[in-house]
Structure 1
């Protein structure tokens, strides 16, 4: 989810750069600020923050209910 948010921020920064606009707030919506926000979100994603629910039972892998696939 954080990687998607970073992609959205980078896309918005690229759009602002292409359109050469600042929406009346040059210190808030400049390329450097949005790039740093995108890098921050990307770093959080790579660090594993917000990676989704963890399996508390300690078992890893998939859960198979009923017959397991590929077993004849």
Structure 2
């Protein structure tokens, strides 16, 4: 799930950079890309990749 969120953030950062959209200092393409990298690192570390629903083992 975090990997998908990272991919979406990378795509948004690409659109901001490619379209040369002027944003405020918080939502620059490099800041969004860094957030995406952090989410990708969490995904690779194994955080947030397992559904924690009820198990049916017996």
Determine if the TM-score, normalized by the shorter chain, exceeds 0.5.
yes
How many residues align? The count is 54
CA–CA distance in structure 1, aligned partners of residues 30 and 16 of structure 2 = 11
Quote the RMSD (CA, aligned, Å): 1.5
Q: Is the 8 A contact 1:22 1:29 kept in 2?
A: no
Higher helix share: 2
Give how far 1:31 is off: 1.8
Deviations 1:25-65 (A, max 9, x none): 2x11112201110100000000000111366x5xxxxxxxx
Using CA pairs below 8 Å that are at least 6 residues apart, which structure has the higher relative contact order?
2
Q: With structure 2 as the length reference, what TM-score do the two structures score?
A: 0.81
Structure 1 gap ranges (5+): 58-72
Structure 2 gap ranges (5+): none
Q: With structure 1 as the length reference, what TM-score do the two structures score?
A: 0.66
